[in-house]
Amino acid sequence: MREYLLTLCITAAVTYLLTGPVRKFAIVAGAMPEIRARDVHREPTPRLGGIAMFFGLCAGLLVADHLTNLSEVFEKSNEPRALLSGAALIWLIGVLDDKFEIDALIKLGGQMIAAGVMVMQGLTILWLPIPSVGSVALTQWQGTLLTVALVVITINAVNFVDGLDGLAAGMVCIAAAAFFLYAYRIWYSYGIEAAAPATLFSAILMGMCLGFLPHNMHPARIFMGDSGSMLIGLVLAAGAISITGQIDPDALKLFAGSEKAAVHQTVPVYIPLLLPLSIIAVPAADLISAIVRRTWRGQSPFAADRGHLHHRLLEIGHSHSRAVWIMYFWSALIAFGSLAYSVNSASMWIVLGVVFLSAIGLVLLLLPRFTPRVPVWAQAIVPPRYRRRRPVAAESMESVEVEQRTPVAVGVAGVNGATALRARSHAPERPKAETSR
């Protein structure tokens, strides 16, 4: 665990320290697009934050390669090198898009090529754990197509949710934390070495997100851009592919008692192949709804709009920060709920806890529509949004009366530009003040 924590900290430190210089470079390079109709920020903000995140990834892999226990991952598996190759390609495509706004179909083709590069180097799905059936071996073409589809869907799910300050980085960090705990449990509790690469990928991904978040929280000083969102989406997909398609349920059967029980224990991992990721179910749901919505309107699935989940949270009255924290809450509930279910699926308390927290989440989600109003005697100690508002007519009449009774300071500009102040009242016997121009 100490080596994983060290790798995480090094990755976070490198990402954090490089984000400042990368921001200056993005400004000089002109990677500051104008405000678009779908944007929620008010000032042009530099992108290319993915540059710092990519070098954080490289630093994390380099440090892990020189640690005593983690170096075995590089010796016994080619998956770290496959991840680095695919990440470098997708990162380069993202950098070009952040600067030159390349076509969506070109990005889609680059995503498929990056996934294919990882498949060629061994990071692919070999079999699927199916409930009540067991492990089903896949042919080479089936494994390749499924791997490419999972990578592309995950990348675009993360890319679509990157619409508010700190949203994508925070949600992926939550998903990576849950995935790290699950992979670490399989690696050290069961002694299955095939889970080591996924554990390492999750730790590095957490470091990349944690190092970038301080610069990206509202109000953001820099955006990760496609170079960052596609990168962290690919790393998250690589971890899911590694632990799902490389670990044979027969190995877990020794600890679970039977193959069906072993497959049942991999529930939080084979679900990502269907959703495609249960641990980022919120971005996946946003992706599916966006594709359906745009296709129904006759638009391209990649045509940007303001119909994402975070846009809807803003429309119903949530502030920027509250909308981000609500998305964090639901992501954590789904991710760690799946994790708890994988540890003890027979416990009814886990189900009840998830249901209870879901009810709390719904209340928080609908809070702007049902804003409580406190009594008059408590209005002085609560935020302004919870205070009772008086009728507009009464407020305007009271303001007029106060203005008639209160002397007002009026500035009278002199010829030489100086300004003299004198008091003026609204008494009828005094003439109105004149202003020299």
pLDDT in tens, the chain (437 residues): 789 999 999 999 999 999 999 999 999 988 776 665 555 556 778 889 999 999 999 999 999 999 988 888 898 889 999 999 999 999 999 999 988 888 888 999 999 999 999 999 988 888 776 656 666 778 888 889 989 998 998 898 888 777 778 888 998 999 889 888 888 888 777 677 778 898 999 999 999 999 999 998 888 889 998 999 999 999 999 988 887 766 665 555 545 555 455 555 555 444 444 444 565 666 667 677 777 777 777 776 666 656 566 566 766 666 767 878 888 888 888 888 877 776 776 677 888 888 888 888 778 777 765 555 666 666 677 666 556 665 444 444 445 454 555 444 434 344 344 433 333 444 444 443 443 33
Question: In the structure encoding, which two tokens stand for residue 333, read together?
Answer: 């509930």
Helix (H, G, I), strand (E, B) or coil at 156: helix
For residue 162, the one-letter residue type is D
* Conformational region of residue 417, where left means phi above 0, alpha means psi within -120 to 50, and beta covers everything else: left
Phi, psi of 188 (to 5 degrees): -100, -30
- Quote the pLDDT of residue 134: 61
Where helices occur in 366-412 by DSSP H, the ranges are 392-405
Count other Cβ atoms within 10 Å, centred on residue 137: 10
Distance CA(6)–CA(368), nearest Å, equals 42
Q: Cis peptide before 276, with omega less than 30 degrees from 0?
A: yes
